[in-house]
Amino acid sequence: MTDTAPVSTPFTAESTADEVVAGIDLSGRRAVVTGGASGIGAETVRTLAGAGAQVTLAVRDVEAGRRAAAEIVAATGNEHVRVAPLDLTDRKSVAGFLAAWEGPLNILVNNAGVMASPLVRTPEGWELQFATNHLGHFALTVGLHRALAEAGGSRVVSVTSSSHLDSPVCFEDIHFRSRGYDPWAAYAQSKTANALFAVGAWERWESDGITVNSAMPGAVRTRLRRHVGEGEEAERSRARAGSGPGGWKTPGQGAATSVLLATSSLLEGVGGRCFEDCNQAPVSEPGSARGVAPFAVDPEAAARLWQISVETLTV
């Protein structure tokens, strides 16, 4: 797409996922939602299933996934909801998911994540938040490229956060081996990576008919916030939410932007962009708590991140 005009829709921060998908028939479409057992992931699954899609919950906790799937089947009447194990920090788990997948894939929502956790390293020495939020999703999505291309007109949604505004990807020390660890800085750079992934994937895959964008859902009270207290950092995150009492969104409002990017004809041919509140996010000014940072949509940074991700995952 050559048109670079900002994309606007009739929907807003108050819109829900159900409102966004109203009138859209997803019968016969196949979708994968990571982290689909709770929070906005479960709401995303419920909405897609309610519109007729065959949805796979890709989850680390399979039992929780099965409970969520059963509730979604009961709520929607759609029995084509399945659960598959996926631990984004475990390369064997990602490889197992990819090996088990057969056939085309129309929708992939990279929703799972961890926020502001204490310092934890994977066996490879990768910092947990970057490993979960970016590297695991990178490996999954690249591994599903053929299935996405086979579907034709497929959609990929990379869930980022307004917290990305706090940090670019620090390429010189991504995994905090030299600098002191800060849980919010680690979260912020991983969310910048999610936005940059959309830029890089769209650049490479547009000709394959794969549309890739990133979505900022806003602040929703979910298990993602289990490491977040009610102090200053929690207030800062809440202030960026954009809707609801005191800035909080409901799960339905939080899932709306992801569902819009995954399903709406309004986004035909639109890729490599970042959205919030169901509209394309404006480029933020320094110090702003809204919009998308220039460093999160920078093609050069996206290309550098892509190369580093490939090298990291092939070691």
Q: Tokens 């807003």 map to which residue?
A: 12
Q: How many CA atoms lie within 13 A of 197 on its CB side?
A: 28
- Provide the strand spans (E) within 160-227: 210-216
Coil vs helix vs strand at 215: strand
Catalytic residue selected from 101, 187, 202, 306? 187
C-alpha 267/C-alpha 278 separation (Å) is: 11
Annotated catalytic residue 181? no
Torsion of CA 233, 126, 190, 31, to 10 degrees: -120
C-alpha 115/C-alpha 166 separation (Å) is: 14
Coil vs helix vs strand at 20: helix
Classify residue 134 by its DSSP letter: I
Residues recognised as catalytic: 187
